[in-house]
Amino acid sequence: MLDMWVRAVLLLMLVWLIAEHYQQWGKMRGSQPVRYRRTGKKRTAKPKGEFQGVTRKPICAECEAAEGQSQVEQEPPPQLNSSKGRRKTVKTDLQYCPNERCRYYGWLGRGNIRSNGYPNRGRHRQLHCTVCRKYFVESTGTLFYGKRYQPEQMAQILTALAEGLGIRAVGRVFWVEPETVLAWLSEAGAQLEAFHRYQSRQLEVAQVQLDELYGVIRAYQTGELNEAEALAALEQSRTSTWLWTAIDPRSKFWLAAVVGERTANNAWKIVHQVVGQLKPGRVPLFLTDGNRAYEQPLLSHYGAWQPPLEGQRQPRWQALPELLYAQVVKKRRGRRLVSVSKRVVFGTLEQIQTRLASSGKQINTAYVERLNLTIRQLVPGLGRRVNTLAHTPDSLARQVSLVQTYYNFCLPCRSLDSAATGVRQRTPAMAVGITDRVWTLQAVLAFRPPPFPQVS
């Protein structure tokens, strides 16, 4: 009898649970993208001249490719305490276990890495994971691994390269074959990119300026063509190498770089890169030159479906109200700047001016242009010194990624000195708030970027 009662109660509870879940599910469905029903009454149309939205969402190929691949948020493994009575342990916070089958694989600062000193009087420390007991050298996976040169020397050579000395000149100064330097550069490329990607996440940036910088061609360098003519020639050929850049004018942080042709495809690439680094939900103000290729990528990443307005039949993909985007259109005749005009693409002029007024700035792309000048000095393939070794797009891309990391993390910028706090010697990475120290290139190259972002 009692048994029957228990069963009945359990059954009732089960029914109640199912009913509750069904309701929850219904609510969840309700929160999914709304299908717009046609009602007699429509919202009033937007004024003419303002962007009306599009009936098809512009698709970002890179977002599509990344979909489904997103890293599952992992829980960090438990923190291990160093056992008592041990000798003073060496700092191993920036090292992780390279064993993919280990529970601690890829995690920084969980207390599982121990140092064993320098075996056979080698240059690199031997480490081991106390969980899976794997032994590895601290330089595993870095440029310094298995080289007969000292890390200090290699870092010096690459620093000279990052400071704008051409590959051949670097070879002469340091008595190394230019081919060796080029090989190191090519080997360090992926590591530098991974370092930059790992460090620059969740950035909070109020403004982004984008620009394209053209690869200098010989004729321009020898003075046969002036800048405008060279530009025209390049635009016609369309196959030359361009450098697409994005900068945050406040911190001077060089957010992203794409080396390639001046095509819409590369505009998508750079916008996608920038968006991926920013804190989700934060929409900065975008300023670019008159190139219209940025409009679709920005609309795609910062847009949403809106119900049809008066006179429209279908819902429209519209720019988010927070998205503000203006172009600074410069007209040149020869070397002379004829006119500068502004074109507001998303948002209104008042909104943009209000946003800029908070930082005491005006609509102009001066910052990104100044960065371009710096880049020209630092990347010989783009500057005045011709270097045949640096002339292939691949080698140019690697030099750019070296210079980008060096500029952001190693090079203090005088304009970032803070008069109020007296803080000097700040790098753009410090100003944007992702590190609190000036990195040396050696420290950058010794850092093994973890395979996934860490939750702290």
Q: State which residue, 14 or 65, has the beta carbon closest to Zn ion.
A: 65
Least distance in angstroms from the C-beta of 316 to Zn ion = 20
Q: How far is the CB of 94 from Zn ion (least distance, A)?
A: 16
C-alpha to C-alpha distance for 263 and 351, rounded to whole angstroms: 30
Of 103-111, 208-216, 239-247, 412-420: span binding Zn ion (CB under 5 A) = 103-111
The distance of closest approach from Cβ of residue 128 to Zn ion in the complex, given in angstroms and rounded to an integer, is 8
Minimum distance from residue 102 beta carbon to Zn ion (Å): 3
Give CA–CA dist 429/436, Å, rounded: 8
Q: Contact with Zn ion (CB under 5 A): which of 129, 155, 274, 382?
A: 129
Rounded to whole angstroms, the Cα distance separating 80 from 161 reads 41
DSSP state of 38: P
Q: If binding is defined by CB under 5 A, does position 114 make contact with Zn ion? A: no
Identify which of 96, 5, 32, 55 has the alpha carbon closest to the alpha carbon of residue 318. 55
Residues 249 to 278: which contact Zn ion by CB under 5 A? 272
**Of 54-62, 198-206, 309-317, 346-354, which part binds Zn ion (CB under 5 A)?**
54-62
When the beta carbons of 89 and 341 are compared against Zn ion, the nearer one is: 89
CB of residue 455 vs Zn ion: minimum separation in angstroms?
19
Stretch of residues binding Zn ion (CB under 5 A), selected from 125-133, 153-161, 190-198, 220-228: 125-133
- Please pick, from the candidates 51, 62, 250, 355, the single residue that binds Zn ion as defined by CB under 5 A: 62
Interaction of residue 102 with Zn ion, rule CB under 5 A: yes
Cβ contacts of residue 394 below 8 Å, gap of 6+? Answer: 186
Cβ 269 to Zn ion shortest distance, Å: 9
Q: Which of 54, 94, 108, 132 binds Zn ion (CB under 5 A)?
A: 132
99 in Cβ contact with 129 (< 8 Å): yes
Minimum CB separation of residue 256 from Zn ion in Å reads 12
Q: How far is the CB of 438 from Zn ion (least distance, A)?
A: 32
The CA angle 360-363-364, to the nearest 5 degrees, is: 110
Verify binding: residue 99, Zn ion, rule CB under 5 A. Answer: yes
3-state secondary structure of 359: coil
Calpha distance 249→272 (Å, rounded): 19
Q: Which is nearer to Zn ion, 113 or 345 (CB)?
A: 113
CB nearer to Zn ion: pick between 64 and 177? 64
3-state SS, residue 352: helix
Contact region for Zn ion (CB under 5 A) — 60-68, 195-203, 344-352, 434-442? 60-68
Q: Could you tell me which of 455, 451, 446, 456 has the C-alpha nearest to residue 94?
A: 446
On whether the CB atoms of residues 324 and 298 are closer than 8 A, the answer is: no
Rounded to the nearest 5 degrees, what angle is found at the Cα of 217, between the Cα atoms of 213 and 218?
A: 150
Residue given tokens 């940036």 in the structure block: 205
Task: Choose the stretch contacting Zn ion; rule: CB under 5 A; options: 92-100, 144-152, 201-209, 211-219.
Answer: 92-100
CB of 399: closest distance to Zn ion in angstroms? 26
* Selected range binding Zn ion among 63-71, 120-128, 178-186, 305-313, rule: CB under 5 A: 63-71
Judged by beta carbon, residue 262 or residue 272, the one nearer Zn ion is 272
Residue type, 204: E
Say which residues have a Cβ less than 8 Å from residue 145's Cβ, sequence separation at least 6. Answer: 124, 137, 139
Q: Is 446 a binder of Zn ion (CB under 5 A)?
A: no
Question: Phi/psi at 64 (nearest 5 deg)?
Answer: -60, -45
In this complex, which beta carbon is closest to Zn ion, that of residue 97 or of residue 278? Answer: 97
Q: Are 188 and 158 in contact (CB under 8 A)?
A: yes
Q: Which of residues 345-374 bind Zn ion (CB under 5 A)?
A: none
User: Closest approach of Cβ 134 to Zn ion, in Å?
Assistant: 5
Would you call 311 helix, strand, or coil by DSSP?
coil
Asked if residues 416 and 431 have their Cβ atoms less than 8 Å apart, the reply is: yes
| DSSP code at position 54 | B
Q: Is residue 63 near Zn ion by the rule CB under 5 A?
A: yes
Q: Give the binding-site size for Zn ion (rule: CB under 5 A).
A: 11
Backbone dihedral angles phi then psi of residue 54, each to the nearest 5 degrees:
-125, 155
In the complex, which residues of this chain contact Zn ion (CB under 5 A)? 60, 62-63, 97, 99, 102, 104, 129, 131-132, 272
